[in-house]
Amino acid sequence: MSVFTKTLHLIKNEKLGIISTFTLPIAFITVLNMIIEKKINLAMHKTPSLVGIHLIEQLLSQNIIYILIVLILYISFTINICRFTILGNESVPSFGISTPRKREFLFFLYSLVLFFIFTLVIITCLLIPIIGIFIGFFIIVVLSARLYFIFPAIAIDDKASRREAWKISKGYTLSIAIIMLLFPYLVTLPFEILINSVPLFSSFFKSTPAGEITSSVVNLLFYAFNCMLMAMSFKIIKEQHQEEVLEA
């Protein structure tokens, strides 16, 4: 069975567990996202003269608490989805809310390290005329695909797989890149076109509270599905890698 088939099969069989576990985190993230967006819009309306780095500094200083809470919720949400997919419903807390632990800190730390590595790659490649941006994009895609499994490994406290993420993903770079980059783009593209091109939908999703909530929830469901694909990919490829090691 493919990654997509197994993921859909899991969702079908565990739909009640998924609903009970992840409804509350989705609700919290949606509310906080709306609060941050409104505060940002208000700040930009009050100080239209601020641009660039000065605007970013002010927005961060005014919304840092909300941003940190949302960041923690997103990390916890992602980790719990990975654990649910790989280890089952019993591995996640009731209603999907838990106190941040070591795995959340590691998840954030590795995300930060990869962010700085990717930023360094982009800055370096931009020094190369014309083709530099394409080289940088290719390097980031390859690195992302090869290091993709660090995060599900952190989620399930699998130290060995975290150290061997590069080895486990060997030979699966293209498949992982498609799941990680191409599939999310293809799934969300019709929704984005609908919102931005059809006036009726555009006014509903962008100008009404119900539309904003719906848009946020739909985006979070897309994100959750992509996280499940990531975790299922890790589970399948790790099992295949272990079989190959045993056969060798």
Among the listed residues 171, 165, 139, the one whose alpha carbon sits nearest the alpha carbon of residue 152: 165
Mean pLDDT, residues 234-245 taken together: 81
The whole-model pTM stands at 0.85
Distance (Å, rounded) from C-alpha 152 to C-alpha 72? 17
Domain ranges of the chain: 3-247
- For residue 58, what pLDDT band results from cuts at 50, 70 and 90? low
Using alpha carbons, list the distances in angstroms from residue 128 to 2, 69, 131, 139. 39, 39, 7, 14
CB contact at 8 A, 92 and 83: yes
Mean pLDDT of the chain: 83
pLDDT of 135 strictly over 60: yes
Cα gap 90→103, rounded to integer Å: 17
For the stretch 73-111, pLDDT in tens is 999 999 999 999 999 888 898 888 877 888 999 999 999
